[in-house]
Amino acid sequence: MRLYIVRHGQTEWNASGFAQGHSDIELDETGRTQAAAMAKALMDCRISKVYSSDLRRCVETADAFAGPLGMMVEAREDLRERTFGQLEGAHYTEIRAWFNGESRQRGLGEHEIRPDGGESLKDVWNRLAKFNRLIDRSRENVLVVTHGGTGGLLMARLMRGTVQTAKSFRLENTGITELIRRPDGYWQLLRFTDTRHLRSDETGS
């Protein structure tokens, strides 16, 4: 069984450095081009099931692959990005400064800090537990379209890491990560956030 994890295509907020969280932002023109190139790159991978965050930027990206094949996309709330609560829509420089200040003041790790009305990284880690079990039981090739933070946390779970090691898995827009489940049940990483499909000679741009 092979698992493909893809971060959604670019949005205007991505390009400008704003935290989207649960804000339902659509792909921009670059993002749509990226999604089409990603879909072409995965076309021969014999994918039988497509899961996506239920936010538009992910559903649009997933549909770029599933639509031409007549496949359904199962949109799931548990694959959403972390919500930043009061910080939603703020620039990442502002968010990093806020988290650094809270960490120093409260003596907590960044993964434990929850903005008002938002989630901590640990909250998202726990939210992914049910989906993680679903993937572990799957016997067919699966595509998962999600977000940068959530995708990193999912990767850390699959690779038997921790919430703290999720930062090691930094996903690029429409980068393709491919894993294969070994007979012993462990996941083996075959490629990570592969963006070769975005090269100008392949996209025609």
Output 47 or 18, whichever has higher pLDDT.
47
Beta strand pairing status for 187-194 and 49-53?
unpaired
Say if residue 205's pLDDT is above 70.
no
| Active-site annotation holder among 22, 60, 81, 147 | 81
3-state secondary structure of 172: coil
| Active-site annotation holder among 8, 22, 111, 197 | 8
Query: Is domain 2-203 in CATH 3.40.50.300, yes or no?
Result: no
C-alpha span between 2 and 41 (Å, rounded): 15
Say if residue 169's pLDDT is above 60.
yes
> Does the annotation mark 8 as catalytic?
yes
Q: Where are the domains of the chain?
A: 2-203
> What are the tens digits of pLDDT across the range 23-72?
899 999 999 999 999 999 999 999 999 999 999 999 999 999 999 999 99
3-state secondary structure of 173: strand
Tell me what pLDDT residue 106 has. 78
Of 190, 128, 175, residue with least CA distance to 8: 175
Return the minimum-mean-pLDDT range out of 11-15, 32-36, 145-149: 11-15
Output 80 or 94, whichever has higher pLDDT.
80
Output 87 or 37, whichever has higher pLDDT.
37
Neighbours of 59 (CB within 10 A): 20
- Which residues are registered as beta bridge partners of 151? none
Element containing residue 51 per DSSP (H, E): strand 49-53
> Does the annotation mark 147 as catalytic?
no
Rounded to the nearest integer, the mean pLDDT of the chain is 92
C-alpha span between 62 and 52 (Å, rounded): 7
Tell me what pLDDT residue 200 has. 61
- What are 69's two structure tokens? 């094949």
pLDDT above 90: percentage of residues in the chain: 74
